[in-house]
């Protein structure tokens, strides 16, 4: 797969563990090393700011997409390669999905998981064939992965859809896996649901 820009979902807070910001910076540096641009939520705070600053410090390209409401709240990063201001959170997610070739979630809260699961659902429905991954920092996502696997065991998620979500603890390995991703054609959702 020819990756050019990777969308990263992550917390607007740095979290309590310094390893989270360290992982954001490491991922940012690895993106630049590979000549990949960053697409993210456009903030200057938390892990969002950490990854954007890391990419910019290494001379990389950063596209931020942020709702006007958050610009008004003064959380927008004003030093990006390009900052796109949109009218809503829904528009933000759609625009990030449009301009990115792959998606990675770093530690974060409700918003991070909302973005991750929406883009995974779109992949499940065959609306895109772009790869999705979790950069797991000190087992932050272990309970989430356990829940996903339980959903498979209980018949709520099909194994082929579980495979849409890749997981690694190392930014370079995760990017390798995303770049090797082969989109799987998905038949109509009704066919999958009925004949699976």
Instruction: Scan for tokens 């309590």, then name that residue.
Output: 16
Residue 85 in contact with residue 71, Cβ under 8 Å? yes
Averaged pLDDT score across all residues of the chain: 93
Handedness of CA 21, 8, 107, 179 (dihedral sign): negative
In the predicted structure, residue 187 carries a pLDDT above the cut 90: no
Residue 47 in contact with residue 77, Cβ under 8 Å? no
Query: Which has more pLDDT, 100 or 192?
Result: 100
Give how far Cα 143 sits from Cα of 16, 132, 137, 157, Å.
18, 18, 12, 16
The pTM of this model reads 0.93
In the predicted structure, residue 148 carries a pLDDT above the cut 90: yes
Q: What are the phi and psi torsion angles at 186 (to 5°)?
A: -115, 125
Which residues are CB-neighbours of 138 under 8 A, at least 6 positions away? Answer: 17, 19
Q: Where are the domains of the chain?
A: 5-195
Tens digits of per-residue pLDDT, 45-98?
999 999 999 999 999 999 999 999 999 999 999 999 999 999 999 999 999 999
Query: What CATH code would you report for 5-195?
Result: 3.40.50.450
Tens digits of per-residue pLDDT, 36-46?
999 999 999 99
Closest CA to 60 of 77, 38, 39: 38
In the predicted structure, residue 109 carries a pLDDT above the cut 60: yes
Rounded distance, CA 117 to CA 111, Å? 10
């Amino acid at each position: 797969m020819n990756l050019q820009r990777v969308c990263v979902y992550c917390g607007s807070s740095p979290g309590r563990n310094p390893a989270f910001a360290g992982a954001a910076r490491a991922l940012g540096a690895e993106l630049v090393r590979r000549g990949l641009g960053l697409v993210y939520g456009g903030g200057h705070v938390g892990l969002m700011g950490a990854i954007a600053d890391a990419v910019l410090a290494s001379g990389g390209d950063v596209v931020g997409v942020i709702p006007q409401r958050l610009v008004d709240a003064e959380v927008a990063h004003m030093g990006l390669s390009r900052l796109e201001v949109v009218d809503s959170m829904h528009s933000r997610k759609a625009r990030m999905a449009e301009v990115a070739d792959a998606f990675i979630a770093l530690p974060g809260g409700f918003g991070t998981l909302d973005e991750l699961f929406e883009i995974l659902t779109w992949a499940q429905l065959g609306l895109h064939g772009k790869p999705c991954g979790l950069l797991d920092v000190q087992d932050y996502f272990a309970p989430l992965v356990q829940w996903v696997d339980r959903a498979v065991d209980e018949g709520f998620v099909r194994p082929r859809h579980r495979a849409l979500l890749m997981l690694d603890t190392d930014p370079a390995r995760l990017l390798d896996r995303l770049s090797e991703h082969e989109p799987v054609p998905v038949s109509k959702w009704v066919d999958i649901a009925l004949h699976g």
